[in-house]
Amino acid sequence: MNDKDDEALLEFRFPTELDIAKMSKEERMNLFRGFFATSRYNRLLIQKLLVKCALDDSFYHKMIELETNHNRNYLDIQKMVESYGYREEFIAAVKEEDAALDKIIDAYNKRMMKT
């Protein structure tokens, strides 16, 4: 990854409300899982820029911009999914994501305890 790659986050495009309605519940869950995977990846890109701020202060404003856009996009998607009537399915995916993040955090905690 080069510095130019740090300037843009992955964009996750949600299907239209009509297209989502045509999906099975499992297809929607996979869609939500993909959304969360993209979000995790983008968080890593934001973290990379944060770390690079120690080398070059000029990364700071870009990092803040990307983080703000990421957070706004997440909340917009959540509201959109709820307005489409898929809150319960989205919450089920949120619970899966929360459990996955707990596992990642636990793995880091175990690794950090060894040092």
Indicate the SS3 state at residue 86: coil
Compute how many other C-beta atoms are within 10 angstroms of the C-beta atom of residue 65.
Answer: 13
Give residue 1's pLDDT.
Answer: 44
C-beta of residue 86 within 8 angstroms of C-beta of residue 20: yes
Read off the pTM. Answer: 0.86
Give residue 4's pLDDT.
Answer: 53
Cα angle for residues 27, 66, 73 (degrees, 5° grid): 35
Spatial CB neighbours of 28, under 8 Å, sequence gap ≥ 6: 20, 86, 89
Give residue 67's pLDDT.
Answer: 95
- Per residue of the chain (115 residues), give pLDDT as tens: 445 555 689 999 999 999 999 999 999 999 999 999 999 999 999 999 999 999 999 999 999 999 999 999 999 999 999 999 999 999 999 999 999 999 999 999 999 998 6
Indicate the SS3 state at residue 85: coil
Give residue 43's pLDDT.
Answer: 95
Give residue 46's pLDDT.
Answer: 96
